[in-house]
Amino acid sequence: MGDTRGGCCPSMDLFRSEPMQLVQLIIPIESAHRTISYLGDLGLLQFKDLNADKSPFQRTYAAQIKRCGEMARKLNFFKEQILRAGLSSKSSVSQVDINIDDLEVKLGELEAELVEINANSEKLQRSYNELLEYKLVLQKAGEFFIAAQSSAVEQQREFESRQTGGDSIEVPLLLEQESLVDQSKPVNLGFLSGLVPREKSMAFERILFRATRGNVFLKQTAVEDPVADPISGEKVEKNVFIVFYSGERAKNKILKICEAFGANRYPFTEDVGKQAQMIAEVSGKLSELKTTIDIGLLHRGNLLQTIGEHFENWNLLARKEKSIYHILNMLSLDVTKKCLVAEGWGPVFATKQIQDALQRAASDSNSQVGPIFQVLLTTEAPPTYFRTNKFSSAFQEIVDAYGVARYQEANPGVYTIVTFPFLFAVMFGDWGHGICLLLATLYFILREKKLSSQKLGDITEMAFGGRYVILMMSLFSIYTGLIYNEFFSVPFGLFGRSAYACRSPDCSDSTTVGLLKVGSTYPFGLDPVWHGTRSELPFLNSLKMKMSILLGVAQMNLGIIISYFNATFFRNSINIWFQFLPQMIFLNSLFGYLSLLIIIKWCTGSNADLYHVMIYMFLGPTEDLAENQLFPGQKNVQIVLLLLALVAVPWMLLPKPFLLKRQHEQRFQGQSYAPLPSGDDSLELDSHHDSHGHEEFEFSEIFVHQLIHTIEFVLGAVSNTASYLRLWALSLAHSELSSVFYDKVLVLSAGFNNIIILIVGIIVFIFATVGVLLLMETLSAFLHALRLHWVEFQNKFYEGDGYKFHPFSFALLDEDDD
Amino acid sequence: MGFLVTSLIFAVIGVITCFCTLICCNRGASTNLFHLTLIITATICCWMMWAIVYLAQMKPLIVPILNDSE
């Protein structure tokens, strides 16, 4: 299809998508991997999946893909470990070439080492934590015992003193016995000590009490600092407890409860001397463990550091490898099992590059047979590929967001680069705000290199991606701001003196009748005198409304003209004569005429009512225009235009379906009398397939389609023109909002003659300007400009039913995976 | 300055810009055509905007009426 170019001029960049061709590559199996790798470096071929019916496991290179997946898993594990260790995986400068097989072995070794180190350090950490808890128990419980002992000794002494002092008859005889029994009791008491999480300690105590029916004595002390739990490794607030019980059954119960509450028990002795000894022992062990753990951590850190240095390289290599095998899986194996057959779309201009890559791969891998490159003929629609640069890509994104262009269809992106920011600026006309936008986007553009490698937030990312769109928008809004003569809503007389002056020397009637135009028209933009006058709004409304219609009619005409370029390009004369021409006539005989009337009215200063003229052009075309006449012979012109518009409707509707039908019949007839195909089976199959495609001509369907299209256009001409009035509404809203912020905040606060109020006023003004005007208004004007392009402009010519070219390229790997 | 003179200035600026891009960044016929299309579209847009505002003020039907406070 690439050679069916119409027109005389050289083709324009970006106007048509690149001519594509379906190519077939036959690659010897020994050089396949290298070939695909080189093609991936080139990144200009989109492979077709020739094994679409096979599941991923049935494919040739399933095992290799699995290996790559395993490597990716290991790399992910490393990444996680590196992140957890708080190291950054910066890519090393030295690009060491490493084989994928070596890499696999190396990754395996490293993983095993790391896992072992992790297991060891975990074990060590656990025993360290246990010892730490044990030490705590020893200390706290020891304190408790010492305190208890001292009080017990005191009691004993008291008891003894009482016994010795009161050796009288009053002393009950039983007491001695009781005390004897009392003294014998502690011998049977057992006790357990340990740590329980503080939040569970209340419940723990209660359950213990209930389970043993109160036959326990529990003593708890809070540990001040959170303790690392040996099992989970997390820091938990804990209490040291010690439980006294009597009897084996109670002990078993308590043990079970301890287990259920996650309370760690530690052995403890009553003997104070032994306690001290144990504390010393535990402390010694602790410091020993500490050094061991530190050495382990250092070793692990070093290991991770070295991994981190190579990580980016390895990761890239692994992902490249995986993508190569993924592509290899899409190729079909030749019958002889010695060759792989690849099919894919590539741009015509890249033919040479692709062939070069194939040759290089063949020679580099010492293959005896070179790969075969051939172009296939197909009826399938090729993918759409625009070669954009960093400037035009954002605009192309705007168009693609609506729909990817049909193959080689005229691309509205070319005009969007200018008209989109222009229509935005019509709604955002203020050169103060334009400069603010410009500064913001210049920041992005100047720091482009730095920012593009960073991860940005969602909104910043969006603004950064559209930085060139915003640049154009800001430049145009500075221009339209100068036209509207608004700098934060303040007018400046930059281009000469105002054309208006008072009628009389004392200016008495300037507030009633108004000023008089004395000089020549203000040369560039809006006369500054209008600002703040009582008639500003009526004047601006009339101006901006008419401007919207003029701009809209111009842009819609551009859209229809592009449909003409499309028709000539695809050699479709039916579309020229029965679509482009009547559409042009219809639109211009109604709205083109309206635009003309607007201009005539401005030039002549006539008082004619254009609404009246347009309405009565339909209601009573033969009636006399009277004072609404703008030029001689207007009535006849209007009748002719009305008739033309009326004729254009059936012109659009009827002939095209009939002509298409005839065209189809001719082609079909020609085919039925064609010479019988030769014996070649595939050819016959092909032609059969072809004719099958044409047999599905249904006249009613085509006619209904044409009917819908016609109705859409006729109604659309009215509604789309009306839709352009949003330019008026939004630009009015913008200027009114900014003048409100200026008058009611800045000027008002300056009127108080108070520095604090002024500062507050300035702050409020800045925030309102940035928040409402620069952010929200930008967004809304952007969206409305987007709609005007997507709907009002593109529906005149744009099909947008193509699909995008997705070449296999290593450069695009990052975007795919994240 | 009349309507025609300023329109001419717009046209001249457009033509000069076209020549500048042709001389400064000459990157083959198709890219040049692309650049020229952009410049011409931009020039037409800017000119239209100016022309509309200029024409609307040529023979004013509404005149500025100052506010009482001023």
Contacting residues of B for A602, CB less than 8 Å apart? 55-56, 58-59
Decide if A515 and B62 are in contact by the 8 Å CB cutoff: no
Strands (E), A147-267: 189-197, 216-222, 227-228, 235-236, 238-246, 264-266
pLDDT interval class at A663 (50, 70, 90): confident
**pLDDT at A398 (0 to 100):** 92
Is the same domain home to A607 and A712? Answer: yes
Mean pLDDT of A44-54: 88
**pLDDT at B9 (0 to 100):** 95
Of all residues in chain A, the one with the smallest CA distance to B48 is A551
pLDDT digits (tens, 9 = 90+) for A525-582: 999 999 888 899 999 999 999 999 999 999 999 999 999 999 999 998 999 999 999 9
Distance CA A401, CA A399 (A): 5
Decide if A605 and B59 are in contact by the 8 Å CB cutoff: yes
**pLDDT at A750 (0 to 100):** 87
Q: Tell me, yes or no, whether A36 lies in a domain.
A: yes
Q: Tell me, yes or no, whether A568 lies in a domain.
A: yes
Is the same domain home to A571 and A647? Answer: yes
| Chain A interface test: which of B43, B52, B67, B68 (most A C-beta within 10 Å) | B52
Contacting residues of A for B64, CB less than 8 Å apart? 500, 514-515, 527, 529-530, 533, 535-536, 539
Q: Tell me, yes or no, whether A760 lies in a domain.
A: yes
Of all residues in chain B, the one with the smallest CA distance to A413 is B38
If residue A22 lies in a helix (H) or strand (E), which one and from where to where?
strand A20-28
Decide if B65 and A511 are in contact by the 8 Å CB cutoff: yes
Residue A140: other Cβ atoms inside 10 A: 21
The C-alpha torsion from A534 through A537 and A540 to A545, rounded to 10°, is -150
Q: Which range, A622-631, A799-808, B23-32, has the best average confidence (pLDDT)? A: A799-808
Q: Tell me, yes or no, whether A420 lies in a domain.
A: yes
For the record, the structure tokens of A762 come out as 């300035």
> pLDDT: is A544 or A814 the higher one?
A544
If residue A277 lies in a helix (H) or strand (E), which one and from where to where?
helix A272-330
Mean pLDDT of A402-419: 93
Looking at residue A777, the DSSP 8-state letter turns out to be I
Residue A336: other Cβ atoms inside 10 A: 7
- Residue in this structure with the two tokens 């499309």, named with its chain if needed: A566
Decide if A602 and B64 are in contact by the 8 Å CB cutoff: no
Domain ranges of chain B: 1-57
Decide if B65 and A535 are in contact by the 8 Å CB cutoff: yes
pLDDT interval class at A204 (50, 70, 90): confident
**pLDDT at A692 (0 to 100):** 46
Contacting residues of B for A553, CB less than 8 Å apart? none
Residue type, position A237, single letter: E
Interface of B with A (CB under 8 A): 1-2, 6, 29-31, 33-34, 37-38, 41-42, 45-46, 48-50, 52-68, 70
- Residue in this structure with the two tokens 């082609």, named with its chain if needed: A667
Is the same domain home to A721 and A747? Answer: yes
Mean pLDDT of A658-674: 77
pLDDT of residue A199 exceeding 50, the answer is yes
Q: What domain range includes position A744?
A: 391-426+477-483+541-667+700-796
* Cβ–Cβ < 8 Å for A374, A24: yes
Is the same domain home to A335 and A418? Answer: no
Of all residues in chain B, the one with the smallest CA distance to A516 is B63
Give the SS3 label for residue A169.
coil
Greatest CA separation found in chain B? 62
The residues pairing with A236 across neighbouring beta strands, listed in sequence order, are: A227
Is the same domain home to A355 and A409? Answer: no
Query: Quick one: three-class SS letters along A441-462?
Result: HHHHHHCHHHHHCCCCCHHHHH
pLDDT digits (tens, 9 = 90+) for A177-186: 444 444 444 4
For the record, the structure tokens of A198 come out as 């503080």
Minimum-distance CB partner of A483 among B53, B63, B64: B53
Q: Which of A527, A106, A152 is nearest to A317 (CA)?
A: A106
B69 CA to chain A: closest CA distance, Å?
Answer: 9
Mean pLDDT value across chain A? 85
pLDDT of residue A380 exceeding 50, the answer is yes
Distance CA A149, CA A154 (A): 8
The residues pairing with A241 across neighbouring beta strands, listed in sequence order, are: A194, A220
pLDDT of residue A4 exceeding 60, the answer is no
* Cβ–Cβ < 8 Å for A800, A406: yes
Helical spans, DSSP H, in A570-654:
573-575, 581-587, 593-604, 610-619, 634-653
Minimum-distance CB partner of B46 among A479, A520, A538: A479
The C-alpha torsion from A323 through A326 and A328 to A329, rounded to 10°, is 180
Domain count, chain A: 2
pLDDT digits (tens, 9 = 90+) for A302-349: 888 888 888 888 888 888 888 899 888 888 887 777 888 999 999 999
Is the same domain home to A374 and A420? Answer: no
Contacting residues of A for B49, CB less than 8 Å apart? 422, 426, 479-480, 483, 547, 551
Any B CB within 8 A of A417 CB: yes
**pLDDT at A682 (0 to 100):** 44
A747 CA to chain B: closest CA distance, Å?
Answer: 15
pLDDT digits (tens, 9 = 90+) for A512-525: 888 888 888 899 99
The residues pairing with A218 across neighbouring beta strands, listed in sequence order, are: A243
* Cβ–Cβ < 8 Å for A362, A105: no
**pLDDT at A150 (0 to 100):** 81
Mode of pairing for the β-strands spanning A516-517 and A500-501: antiparallel
Decide if A483 and B48 are in contact by the 8 Å CB cutoff: no
Is the same domain home to A708 and A607? Answer: yes
> pLDDT: is A327 or A175 the higher one?
A327
**pLDDT at A686 (0 to 100):** 44
Sign of CA dihedral A420, A425, A427, A428: positive
- Burial class (CB within 10 angstroms; exposed 0-12, middle 13-18, buried 19+) of A455: exposed
Is the same domain home to A761 and A812? Answer: no
**pLDDT at A5 (0 to 100):** 43
A380-384, A458-462, A754-758: the lowest-pLDDT one: A458-462
The residues pairing with A372 across neighbouring beta strands, listed in sequence order, are: A26
pLDDT of residue A672 exceeding 80, the answer is no
- Residue in this structure with the two tokens 């509450």, named with its chain if needed: A261
Q: Which of A387, A407, A394 is nearest to A801 (CA)?
A: A407
**pLDDT at A6 (0 to 100):** 42
> pLDDT: is A94 or A141 the higher one?
A141
The residues pairing with A516 across neighbouring beta strands, listed in sequence order, are: A501
C-alpha pair distances (Å), A331 with each of A48, A351, A377, B64:
8, 20, 19, 76
Is the same domain home to A716 and A810? Answer: no
Is the same domain home to A726 and A812? Answer: no
* Degrees, nearest 5: CA angle A282-A225-A298: 60
Distance CA A290, CA B67 (A): 85
pLDDT digits (tens, 9 = 90+) for A27-44: 888 888 889 999 998 889
- What is the distance, to the nearest Å, from the Cα of residue A289 to the centroid of all Cα atoms in its chain? 49
Mean pLDDT of A624-628: 82
Any B CB within 8 A of A607 CB: yes
**Total length of chain B:** 70
Q: Which range, A147-156, A424-433, A680-689, has the best average confidence (pLDDT)? A: A424-433
The C-alpha torsion from A137 through A141 and A146 to A151, rounded to 10°, is 170
Decide if A607 and B65 are in contact by the 8 Å CB cutoff: no
**pLDDT at B17 (0 to 100):** 94
Strands (E), A636-721: none
B28 CA to chain A: closest CA distance, Å?
Answer: 10
Greatest CA separation found in chain A? 149
A86: left (phi > 0), else alpha (psi -120 to 50), else beta?
left
pLDDT digits (tens, 9 = 90+) for A87-134: 765 655 555 667 778 888 888 888 888 888 888 888 888 888 888 888
Q: Tell me, yes or no, whether A618 lies in a domain.
A: yes
Q: For chain B, what is the radius of gyration of the CA atoms?
A: 18
Distance CA A775, CA A440 (A): 12
Is the same domain home to A636 and A605? Answer: yes
A670 CA to chain B: closest CA distance, Å?
Answer: 39
Is the same domain home to A623 and A722? Answer: yes
A430: left (phi > 0), else alpha (psi -120 to 50), else beta?
beta
Q: Which of A340, A427, A345, A325 is nearest to A385 (CA)?
A: A345
A775 CA to chain B: closest CA distance, Å?
Answer: 25
pLDDT of residue A253 exceeding 50, the answer is yes
pLDDT digits (tens, 9 = 90+) for B13-62: 999 999 999 999 888 888 899 999 999 999 999 999 999 999 999 888 88
**pLDDT at A174 (0 to 100):** 52
**pLDDT at A100 (0 to 100):** 79
Mean pLDDT of A186-202: 77
**pLDDT at A184 (0 to 100):** 46
C-alpha pair distances (Å), A172 with each of A97, A155, A493:
99, 19, 119
**pLDDT at A181 (0 to 100):** 45
* Degrees, nearest 5: CA angle B48-A726-A397: 80
Q: Tell me, yes or no, whether A460 lies in a domain.
A: no
Residue B25: φ, ψ to 5°: -120, 80
Distance CA A413, CA A421 (A): 12
**pLDDT at B15 (0 to 100):** 96
Contacts of A125 (CB under 8 A, 6+ apart): A233, A293
pLDDT of residue A816 exceeding 70, the answer is no
Contacts of A84 (CB under 8 A, 6+ apart): none
Of all residues in chain B, the one with the smallest CA distance to A543 is B56
What ipTM score was computed for the predicted complex, to two decimals?
0.96
Decide if B6 and A526 are in contact by the 8 Å CB cutoff: no
Of all residues in chain A, the one with the smallest CA distance to B55 is A602
Contacting residues of A for B60, CB less than 8 Å apart? 517, 539, 605
pLDDT digits (tens, 9 = 90+) for A573-613: 999 999 999 999 999 999 999 999 999 999 998 888 898 89
**pLDDT at A683 (0 to 100):** 43
